[in-house]
Amino acid sequence: MSRITIVILGEIHRDPAPPKLLMEHMDLIRSAKIPMVYCYESPHDNKLEEEIERHQSSIAGNAHVLKIPAIRTLLKEHKESGVQYFEIADLPKIEKILASIRPDLEDHVIHVTGASAISNNSHKSRLDLLKKIKHDGVAYFAIDCNKRETQAVQNNLELWQPNETYRMMQMTDQLFDTVIPRLKDNGGVIFISIGMLHVHRLTAHIMTKLATGCCATHTIIVQPTIMFSPLVEDAREAMLKAQHEYDNIDPNEIRSWYPCISITKLKAQITSGEKVNSTEFSTHIQRVIDTHTVKPVTISIPNLNANKKRVLALLGARVIEEKKELSKVEVLPPWLLKSARKKLEIDKHKIRFPDHTLHRLDYLKSINGVCIEATDENNVYHITFCQRDFARVKQAVIKWEDFSTKYLKTTVSATVNNLSHQEKLTKQPEAEQAPKTSITEPIIKPSSSI
């Protein structure tokens, strides 16, 4: 069964960082010999060459706009990189200036011209990405409404909201009818660049389609993300709040997915020379690569319900045994992130066991629902278990009476990632607590999330 990872890259369109980050990480995907497809929020009858020409034309047009003295005075400068940029609050000011110079232009033309000008940096980085896609022979698909439909909406701003559901349907149909078949034999990665306002809605539309069983021969993982750099910090919070502006226009079948969707937020930094870096994005790309190389593991999910099944579907997981209290599920480890684990009521810890404590792994295995995975590090394991069993797992990891306080503080201190529920879960009835000794708790310490 081939694996297909769909990475939805939500962005604020005037941010140059997302296209640059993707461009700089594409070679990692290629070197791992994983097939790749790039999809863009553009009219689906636009070919790659047309899209390149469109961005070139926008940059040339913006050059004339940016020469206007009154508009140039609105430019800000990013301290760390020296990059000049506009804030979203500058758009109405630019529109007013343009209208005073060209009163003959229609309002929508003024708006599109101003919006293009404040997005000039992202036009440049997108152009670089598209040129690389063409040079490397990466499959390209535009997936939005066609040019005629897009133009009709641009000419009548009142059509934006009723058009949103249709747009999501169009993008979903393009994805399943044209893009996914491209990877049907060997699997691969699909990157979709889209405005961050649409990320959760497109994800919900995709998952609703997958729920019909139309791609049962593939393992499909859907990972929605949003990326942003300091150049769009002025709009980030407003955009996050506005994400659900169009939720009410989707049918209940689509909206039922919303609570189950976790969107990964990825921050980027811009340094001197307009270079962009993001440790978070690099980690995310490594998870994408690992998805196509690692073996699935079997974990246990307590009280499996409809919402948990939806969360698992987003991870490409497969239910292999469903029971009332504890169900067995086959899942790919890279995507068992904190947000998903919280919804599934499970925890995942990375723990080191000194040689003389390895026998405790046998006890852990005896706890129903515990999954133990070896890592590349000697005597280090990933332990996945139901949150309700935290006290038992903790007791198995450290037998308090066996060690001196000094030893506990140094050698045996376990490396644990993502222990957000530690305080809550350790407050168990007295009978479930570790044996009372004079040794100070806790021994398991939280660190960075897995």
Supply the pLDDT for residue 369.
87
Q: What is the rounded end-to-end Cα distance, in angstroms, of the chain?
A: 27
Cα 24 to Cα 20, 125, 165, 264, distances in angstroms:
6, 11, 33, 20
Which token pair is 190? 């699909």
Supply the pLDDT for residue 22.
96
Q: Exposed, middle or buried, 408 (CB in 10 Å: 0-12/13-18/19+)?
A: middle
Supply the pLDDT for residue 444.
37
Supply the pLDDT for residue 345.
95
Supply the pLDDT for residue 401.
35
Burial 158-170 (b: 16+ CB within 10 A, else e): eeeeebbbebbeb
Query: What is the Cβ-side half-sphere exposure of residue 144, based on CA atoms within 13 angstroms?
Result: 20
Q: Whose CA is closest to 50, among 134, 118, 113, 135?
A: 134
Strand partners, 139: 37
Q: Whose CA is closest to 163, among 249, 239, 240?
A: 249
Supply the pLDDT for residue 274.
75
Supply the pLDDT for residue 404.
30
Q: Which residues, given as ranges, of the chain have pLDDT below 70?
A: 147-162, 398-450
Which token pair is 168? 């999501």
Supply the pLDDT for residue 203.
96
Q: Whose CA is closest to 19, among 8, 11, 7?
A: 11
Asked whether 10 and 226 are in contact (CB, 8 A), the reply is yes
Supply the pLDDT for residue 158.
60
Asked whether 328 and 367 are in contact (CB, 8 A), the reply is no
